[in-house]
Amino acid sequence: MPLLEVRDINVRFGGLVAVSDVSFDVDTGSITGLIGPNGAGKTTCFNAVTGLQACSGRVVLDGKDISNRRPHVRARLGMSRTFQRLETFRTLTTRENVLVAAEMSRKRLRSQGLSPVEVTDRAVDRVGLGPVADVSVELLPTGTQRLVELARCLAAAPRVILLDEPSSGLNDNETDALAELLKELASEGLGVLVVEHDMPFIMATCGRINVLDFGSIIAQGTPAEVRANPMVRSAYLGQGEPSEPPANGALPARARAVANRHSDETSSGPGAGDSDAPLVPGLELSAIRAGYDLIDVIDDVSLTVPLGSVVALLGPNGAGKSTTLKVACAEVIPRAGAVSFLGQPAKGHSADDLARRGLCCIPEGRSVFPSLSVVENLLMASHTGSDRDVIQEQAFSRFPSLAGRRAQLAGTLSGGEQQMLAMARALTTNPKVLLLDELSMGLAPLIVEQLYEAVAEIAAGSIAVLIVEQFAHDVLAVADHALVMAGGKIVMTGTPEEVAAGMDEAYLGVAPAG
């Protein structure tokens, strides 16, 4: 008998069918994948299984029908989960976050002769969080916070865990370690259900995979069977196999043509029509040193983002990329160095002042108002004086997939749609400089490609775009210039082709010779 049985789950949002007749099993001691393109219904399905979303159908855990049980009851019966958007107690330490879950399971732990403190310490050590056990979670990078969520799941003594995009924000080594940990947990009798866009991770970790598209299961089977299924390639990856990373520094000609389109289309832009004309800087950071409390996170960081260009800031998780963005938009005050915005010193200007002057930041995590509709989210930008009809027309012409979801609550959109909404809302403010933090995190390849094509078009309108990314090849295809950070420093800079050719060395923190 399966450990977790999901039968004929259906979820509707008004007239929209988000999940239709979905059924699958999770066996004891197994890792099961749930994949599909953005908007396929994966997170909605998770919410239905865990009781956070009303649905029809049946959910059976360990032979017990829990379809009518509330979320906290399902959790106490042995079901734990993580979330696509981080749900940590940011002002608590790592240990305190995990202890919350252990305390909630005190009665069950007592029957096993364990105390919440013992279980907390075990979970923290098991996930490798010992070095940051007493650090406030808000100071941790996204990838580490995801591990905090996993440790919290384990502290609840679950029978089955549901992980929503667990590898988002992790570097390659951390992703490999996560895969090994999940295999160990499964070998100890735990059931694991994973939603993930990282196909190599899914294929190497899961014994069985279920594929959703438009709310319905289109394929089920082993990784080899799913990989060979033409419906999966079409729905999840697009026609054919996923593209390979650029070889020998060569980037796809189509993407480079999109990225360089502004050289032909913006005849009225700064420096347009004259390849020797100086590029007007939208944003400059000079010899920046900054950090939190007594810890320096970045040191001697300098970069320039000209108007009408896309600059990629790359590097592994924890390199200091997001801190650099926070310095750029005045959320973090540097200890040394200078920031210039549109040629003027930014010192003394607050974050909201810079925003009013035209600096717009879309932070990591798709900051939308989940309880407001798509249109209401867009109209939050009407304080700039823009006409409401114009705001909607611009947003829906740039992102047509949002037009059919005008009245839908933003919190029920897929991750890709939420990212589109965040970008559309930002652009209604007519920014001069746009900062994007981990645009591709947790998104399917086809959605990432669409978003980056939009970024290239945005830059063509004489906007300076600085993109922070962990996964380099996604953004190099549309960048004009690239920098790589490691250990809080810039270790490599150059054209996308040059950076692509030296990426391995740069990510290891070793700048290539010359």
Residue 304, pLDDT > 50, answer yes
Q: Which of 67-76, 177-186, 379-388, 452-461 has the lowest mean pLDDT?
A: 379-388
pTM (whole model) above 0.75: no
Q: Mean pLDDT over residues 456-464, rounded?
A: 86
Task: Please count the other Cβ atoms lying within 10 Å of the Cβ belonging to residue 493.
Answer: 17
Residue 246, pLDDT > 60, answer no
Residue 98 structure tokens = 């995990």
pLDDT at 38: 66
Would you say the CATH fold of 253-358+432-507 matches that of 4-237? yes
Give 467-513 pLDDT, tens digit per residue: 988 666 778 888 999 998 877 889 889 999 888 877 656 543 344 44
Q: Which CATH number fits domain 4-237: 2.60.40.10, 3.40.50.1820, 3.40.50.20, 3.40.50.300?
A: 3.40.50.300
Give 391-421 pLDDT, tens digit per residue: 888 889 888 888 888 999 998 888 888 888 9
- Does domain 253-358+432-507 fall under CATH 3.40.640.10? My reply is no
Mean pLDDT of the chain: 83
pLDDT at 207: 94
Q: Mean pLDDT over residues 69-92, rounded?
A: 90
Residue 474: name the closest of 229, 251, 156 by CA: 251
Give 154-166 pLDDT, tens digit per residue: 998 899 999 998 8
The string of DSSP letters for 325-351 reads: HHHHTTSS--SEEEEEETTEE-TT--H
Domain assignments of the chain as residue spans, ordered by start: 4-237, 253-358+432-507, 366-430
Buried b (16+ CB within 10 A) or exposed e, 255-285: bbebbbbbbeebeebbbbeeeeeebbbbbbb
Residue 287: name the closest of 298, 266, 301 by CA: 301
Give 207-239 pLDDT, tens digit per residue: 999 999 889 999 999 998 988 888 877 765 444
Q: Output 90 or 446, whichever has higher pLDDT.
A: 90
Buried b (16+ CB within 10 A) or exposed e, 303-330: bbbbbbbbbbbbbbbbbbbbbbbbbbbb
